[in-house]
Structure 1
Amino acid sequence: MANVAFIGLGVMGYPMAGHLLRAGHELTVYNRTASKAAEWVVQHGGRACETPAQAAVDQDFVMVCVGNDHDLREVISGEHGVLKGIRSGAVIVDHTTASADVARELADLASRQGVGFLDAPVSGGQAGAEHGQLTVMVGGDAAVYDLARPVISSYARMVRLMGAAGSGQLTKMVNQICIAGLVQGLAEALNFARSAGLDGEAAMEVISKGAAQSWQLEHRHKTMLAGEFDFGFAVDWMRKDLGIVLDEARRNGAQLPVTALVDQFYADIQAMGGGRWDTSSLIARLKRDA
């Protein structure tokens, strides 16, 4: 069992930290809103600290799950960041969905202090975090990965090293490209079924047993038909992620015409007031024209 700090107790980090404690690790937590960290300690145990640097002192692993590149730099390399308190030989595991560039930057800074760094974004949403069933895509040194994998496995059903620093973030970009296209396709299919006078649920039940099957179809078609969009990853966060994807594509030359189009469709959802709706809300654009 290890001494572990968890930085960032949002909808993902809060349950992930709980799984670590239940697995027998000693937990220290930090959250920008201190009351959230205090709430976590009351519910689970462990202790809370006032800064990421304090939380990192004497830890074997520091897990991080915050919002974006700016937040990540602040909690790791900022004035009161993790690197101000962490010891040589410890490991930082970053679960934030961020750019590959910031992953490489922070891996280099950590290396200069003798600290391991893994970029390890996750997929599976809030439900995956709550049930300890996340998929974790990892970039970094193989020896560091071998140290961290048993700890990460406390809340994961799949963990895989994808390559050097930044590779975890690049793999998460692949994931988001797939999701964007799948959800738009599902939205169009459901809208078409409705327009054609079909029973949408019956149509999905039939095609889900064939080549059209997907996680999105299985878990989202009923709520999409009902116009309920409170079940997962918010549109605002998806647009942040797709912005990272499109920036990377401009650098590496990959053509992403469908992804760019779906990103604009999500902008339409934001303009409709749906920034906090989940990503399946793409169907709302089509329903308004029905």
Structure 2
Amino acid sequence: MSKIAFIGIGRMGWHMAAHLAKAGHDVVVCDVVPGMADKWVAENGGAAVASPADAVRGREYVMTSLPADRELFAVADGIVSELAKGTVWIDHSTTSAEGSRVVATRVTEVGSAFLDAPVSGGVDGARNGTLTVMAGGNEGAFAKAETVMSGYAARMTLMGESGAGQITKMTNQICVVGVCQALAEGLDFAETAGLDVQKVIHVMLQGSSASWQMANRAEKMLAGEYNYGFSTTLMRKDIGLVLDEAASMNVPLPVTSMVGQMLAEVTVMGGAQWDWCSLMARQRRRKA
């Protein structure tokens, strides 16, 4: 089994690290939230440390699940000099592609490897160990990383050089945001028309409109249940990364931009920490 440091055990990282511990790996965890690491250890075993630098010493793998570039850079400042030669740092954060490239260069200079490896599948995927990983970086490092990532991921693909994982994740977000808003509109339309929406969902899941969002979020959207999953705040952050990258390539993204504005309205409604499928709450506002 491998010696692993896991930094950032929030909604996603908690479950990912737990799968590693259950697989028998030697896992050390660290989190900026006071008491979080100790709570994780009480439930899963392993060890908790106070700082990222303490976490990575003597580790074969370092895994991070962080909110944004700022946190990634802060962790890099604390751990790069502590990485053992040959350590593979697997970053599951969703950040800018350029940020990943910058950190990859720093890590390579000390004889270690960095993979930008954002994930898709949400908290449910992390809990069930069925995440999809899209990675950028060195082929040899990815081959090594697969052996440990398989503990919480069902699909892992090397997309290209550093930054390619983040660009792939951005592509994923472009595709899903429009689908979720369309789902909110469709459900509202069917409900207002007086249809049995449960039957509508059942029928649509057998046809061309079927999607992951419909299969996993439609019921909760109908029930108005949003206190779980991937927050509006984090999706707005992801959309911001997408729009910045698209602007640099002169690629128009009108639907993605529009949904970003809609999520800003959800935030004003008090939904900053709701799952971002709370687009449904915005859609229903006229009924309030």
TM-score, with length taken from structure 1: 0.97
SS at match of 1:154: coil
Say if 2:96 and 2:166, in contact at 8 Å, map to a contact too: yes
Structure 1 counterpart of 2:164: 167
Structure 2 counterpart of 1:83: 80
CA distance in 1, matches of 2:271, 2:117: 28
Query: Aligned letter for 2:18?
Result: G
Query: Aligned letter for 1:61?
Result: Y
Offset of residue 220 of structure 1: 1.3
Structure 1 counterpart of 2:133: 136
| TM alignment of 1:55-70, pairs within 5 A | 55-70=55-70
Query: Aligned letter for 1:180?
Result: V
The count of aligned residue pairs is: 287
Structure 2 counterpart of 1:150: 147
CA distance in 2, matches of 1:218, 1:46: 35
Structure 1 counterpart of 2:187: 190
Say if 2:81 and 2:110, in contact at 8 Å, map to a contact too: no
| TM alignment of 1:1-290, pairs within 5 A | 1-76=1-76, 78=77, 81-290=78-287
SS at match of 1:165: coil
Say if 1:34 and 1:50, in contact at 8 Å, map to a contact too: no
Say if 1:100 and 1:166, in contact at 8 Å, map to a contact too: yes
CA distance in 2, matches of 1:103, 1:194: 44
Q: Which runs of 5+ in 1 are unaligned?
A: none
Q: Deviations over 1:219-238 (max 9, x none)?
A: 11121112111231110110
Q: Deviations over 1:207-258 (max 9, x none)?
A: 1100011111111112111211123111011000000000000011211110
CA distance in 1, matches of 2:140, 2:72: 23
CA RMSD of aligned residues (A): 1.0
SS at match of 2:286: coil
Say if 1:63 and 1:93, in contact at 8 Å, map to a contact too: yes
TM-score, with length taken from structure 2: 0.97
SS at match of 1:11: coil
Q: Which runs of 5+ in 2 are unaligned?
A: none
CA distance in 2, matches of 1:196, 1:84: 62
Query: Aligned letter for 1:264?
Result: Q
Query: Aligned letter for 1:2?
Result: S
SS at match of 1:281: helix
Q: Which runs of 4+ in 1 moved over 3 A?
A: none
Offset of residue 24 of structure 1: 1.6
